[in-house]
């Protein structure tokens, strides 16, 4: 059987013609070629029309694009190879015509847009790669050629000069873009890249904000758990101390009983009958103290009011803490802006006030301890200017700060 291809003895590549063998030798410096009866595969992708010269190339194309259907046209191109084709391109037109008539098919480099080719070469692409990109991208635009190079940069034949049959119809190259069109296209690409970058930055900012909120919540929850564990630890420690004290008293009582029984034994007395009734202790008339009882101070009344508020709503710690913070805001505004009436007047029917303070038992009582009075039929709480006592307001602020920051406030 006549040879239908040339096989490179160095890498095993199959080549369709002497010209391809010469190009292959120029690119790889391989020089060991022999005639082979194995035809060069011609697998054409049914989806995009890309020709593949080997099974490996078709597998790479499938992996990259997902196209799996290929038409095997190897038999159409598997014709005896001519070894008489000159390797140099110094033929006359008559010699070329005679050569074309002596072989069934001749492969040549396809015509591409020279301006686009020069632009691609100026960008650093090799001539063979730039020519292949322009040919397979439709020879239409610089952007399409660059995109083709990016998509096919892993192809094994990316740097091989493309070859087409002289008998096949070659599509005329489309006119290149004018400088103005190139400028407008470049501006569109820059604007598209800018918008994409802005969208990515906004997305990253949203992700960072979500992460910050999540970390903040985790820190607050960890702090709350730590405070709760500390409170439980202190309660358990106090309980253990009480149990230890109780056991110590019981030991002392037993020791006294044993000493008493020992003394009775030494004196020859019978053991004490535990069932015998003990003489009742004489009733001691309680003497009334003649010392005057010190009345509770304003600060103590405030502290007790806040304790009662927390105890009455112990099942809703968040609402109690918000009430303390709201009361601290009212007291602070009254102390800092005592000359402005709006900071010393509170509408009791205000929904926000009712939800935060008025609806909790003890909230309004605390404000009354600070000097606020109900006026206009109980519609407002008002602190008269002549009754602003900075010492009382400062004490109220201190008690509220303690109630907010002390995790054990109101527990005992």
Say if residue 324 is in the same domain as residue 357: yes
pLDDT at 98 (0 to 100): 47
Domain end point (choices 119, 151, 176): 176
CATH no. for residue 379?
1.20.58.2190
Domain end point (choices 152, 176, 200): 176
pLDDT at 221 (0 to 100): 93
- Quick: pLDDT tens for 299-330: 888 888 888 888 888 888 888 889 989 999 99
Domain end point (choices 146, 176, 206): 176
Least confident interval from 36-45, 138-147, 166-175, 184-193? 166-175
Residue 350 domain flag: yes
Can you give the residue range of the structural domain that contains 209?
A: 178-266
Residue by residue, DSSP assigns 6-53 as EEETTT--EESSHHHHHHHHHHH----EEEESSPPP-EEETTT--EES
| pTM (predicted TM-score) | 0.32
Say if residue 325 is in the same domain as residue 353: yes
- Quick: pLDDT tens for 239-281: 998 998 999 999 999 999 998 888 888 887 777 766 654 555 5
The dihedrals phi and psi of 339, each to the nearest 5 degrees, come to -85, -10
Three-state SS for 173-198 is CCCCCCHHHHHHHHHHHHHHHHHHHH
pLDDT band at 101 (very low <50, low <70, confident <90, very high): very low
CATH no. for residue 141?
1.10.8.10
> From CA 277, how far away is CA 25, in angstroms rounded?
126
Q: Which residue has the higher pLDDT, 287 or 68?
A: 68
Say if residue 216 is in the same domain as residue 168: no
pLDDT at 90 (0 to 100): 41
Place of tokens 């029984």: 261
User: What is the rounded average pLDDT for all residues in the chain?
Assistant: 80
pLDDT surpasses 80 at 48: yes
* Domains contained in the chain, number: 3
C-alpha dist (Å) from residue 193 to 273, 293, 313: 103, 82, 57
Say if residue 163 is in the same domain as residue 198: no
Place of tokens 């709480």: 381
pLDDT surpasses 90 at 209: yes
pLDDT surpasses 90 at 96: no
């Amino acid at each position: 059987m006549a040879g239908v291809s040339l096989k490179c003895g160095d890498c095993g590549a199959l080549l369709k013609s002497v010209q391809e063998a010469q190009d292959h030798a120029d690119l790889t410096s391989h020089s060991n070629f022999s005639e082979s009866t194995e035809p060069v595969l011609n697998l054409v992708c049914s989806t995009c029309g890309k020709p593949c010269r080997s099974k490996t190339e078709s597998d790479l194309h499938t992996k990259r694009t997902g196209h799996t259907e290929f038409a095997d046209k190897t038999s159409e191109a598997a014709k005896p190879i001519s070894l008489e084709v000159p390797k140099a391109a110094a033929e006359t037109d008559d010699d070329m015509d005679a050569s074309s008539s002596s072989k069934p098919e001749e492969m040549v480099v396809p015509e591409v847009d020279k301006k686009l080719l020069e632009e691609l070469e100026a960008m650093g692409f090799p001539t063979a790669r730039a020519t292949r990109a322009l040919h397979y991208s439709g020879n239409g635009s610089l952007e399409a050629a660059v995109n083709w190079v990016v998509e096919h940069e892993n192809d094994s034949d990316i740097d091989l000069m493309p070859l087409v049959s002289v008998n096949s119809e070659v599509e005329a190259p489309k006119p290149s873009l004018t400088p103005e069109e190139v400028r407008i296209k470049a501006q569109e690409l820059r604007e598209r890249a800018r918008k994409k970058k802005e969208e990515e930055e906004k997305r990253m900012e949203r992700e960072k904000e979500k992460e910050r909120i999540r970390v903040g919540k985790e820190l607050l929850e960890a702090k709350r758990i730590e405070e709760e564990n500390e409170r439980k630890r202190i309660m358990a420690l106090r309980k253990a101390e009480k149990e230890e004290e109780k056991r110590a008293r019981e030991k002392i009582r037993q020791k006294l009983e044993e000493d008493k029984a020992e003394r009775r034994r030494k004196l020859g007395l019978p053991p004490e009958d535990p069932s015998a009734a003990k003489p009742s202790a004489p009733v001691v008339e309680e003497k009334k103290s003649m010392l005057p009882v010190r009345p509770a101070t304003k600060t103590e009344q405030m502290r007790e009011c806040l304790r009662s508020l927390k105890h009455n709503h112990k099942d809703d710690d968040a609402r109690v803490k918000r009430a303390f913070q709201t009361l601290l805001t009212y007291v602070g505004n009254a102390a800092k802006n005592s000359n402005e009436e709006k900071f010393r007047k509170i509408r009791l029917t205000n929904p926000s006030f009712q939800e935060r303070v008025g609806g909790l038992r003890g909230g309004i009582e605390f404000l009354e301890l600070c000097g606020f009075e109900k006026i206009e039929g109980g519609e407002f709480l008002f602190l008269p200017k002549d009754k602003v006592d900075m010492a009382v307001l400062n004490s109220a602020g201190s008690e509220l700060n303690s109630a907010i920051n002390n995790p054990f406030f109101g527990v005992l």
